Amino acid sequence: MAHVLFIRPCYDVETRKLVSWSNEVIDRLDMSDGLATFTDLLGNDVTEFNVLAALDDYVSLVVFHGHGGDSYFVSRRRDGLREMAITIETLTRGLLRDKIIYALACNSARKLGRLSVQTGAKAYVGYAGLVSLTLGETERDFFVAASRFILTLSMKTPGRSRTSCGDAFAALKAAHEDIVAFYQSGRGVKSFNRAFYLANAEDNLESLVLLGDYNATI
């Protein structure tokens, strides 16, 4: 059975938006009749101590939603200073070994993602560049695609084999491509806003990566 660890900071507009969306994913898992279990570190519970304590052998999928950089995930900002939830130093302990990581966080795939795989993670799905949640009419589509990625990996349908990380990633990437195509087609919002949303969508698509084993499963 899959066990998902959610790491969900909540301290500004972007992280509150991510929390609101991911509540729907957690509700689905909560009603899954035992197809998957989860631990939810939310808001002030997202500290480096709590994250390290939660990264035990039972966790098969780690989901982080929030701000990041090429070598860290941010747990909160206090008095203008960033507090970290996961850093490169964390990975040297091998705590992500045999896990799949999905990080909706800017730039985190550059170093953090690569080192995760090098230190034993099965796969890392995330973004090597900036991630924009400002997508106009397609913002909901973005979140639905992310939800499906998490649920497809973590919930095994009885009588069927588990979906591979590569197949789930292909569907996630296709959804990003559909958002780009929507604005390229000229549909939707007025031309000025369309160009802005298109640029954001293209940046999201370009920076989305899968590192590690495409055939990995939970």
**3-state SS string for 81-99:** EEEEEEEHHHHCCCCCCCC
Establish if 218 belongs to a structural domain.
Answer: no
Establish if 23 belongs to a structural domain.
Answer: yes
22-39 confidence digits (pLDDT tens) = 999 999 998 887 778 999
Q: What's the DSSP call for residue 95?
A: T
Establish if 56 belongs to a structural domain.
Answer: yes
Residue listed under structure tokens 């059975």: 1
- Strand arrangement, sheet containing 72-78: 68-69, 72-78, 81-87
Establish if 119 belongs to a structural domain.
Answer: yes
Q: What CATH number should be reported for the domain holding residue 195?
A: 3.40.50.1460
Cα separation values, 168 from 116, 155, 163, 178, 210, Å:
19, 12, 7, 16, 10
Q: What is the pLDDT along the chain (218 residues), one digit of tens a residue?
A: 789 999 999 999 999 999 999 999 999 998 887 778 999 999 999 988 898 899 888 999 999 999 988 888 887 766 555 666 777 676 667 788 999 999 999 999 999 999 999 999 999 999 999 999 999 889 999 999 999 999 999 887 666 788 999 999 999 999 999 999 999 988 766 666 888 999 999 999 999 999 999 999 98
114-138 confidence digits (pLDDT tens) = 999 999 999 999 999 999 999 988 9
Query: Is 86 strand, coil or helix?
Result: strand
pLDDT value of position 100: 96
Q: How many domains does the chain have?
A: 1
pLDDT value of position 19: 95
Backbone torsion region of residue 178, taken as left when φ is above 0, otherwise alpha when ψ lies between -120 and 50, otherwise beta: alpha
* Contacts of residue 109, Cβ cutoff 8 Å, sequence gap at least 6: 103, 124, 126, 127, 128, 207, 209, 211
Domain of residue 142: give its range. 2-212
pLDDT value of position 157: 65
pLDDT value of position 195: 87
pLDDT value of position 216: 95
**Rounded Cα–Cα distance for residues 199 and 183 (Å):** 9
Q: Are 123 and 147 in contact (CB under 8 A)?
A: no
Establish if 6 belongs to a structural domain.
Answer: yes
**Rounded Cα–Cα distance for residues 203 and 134 (Å):** 12
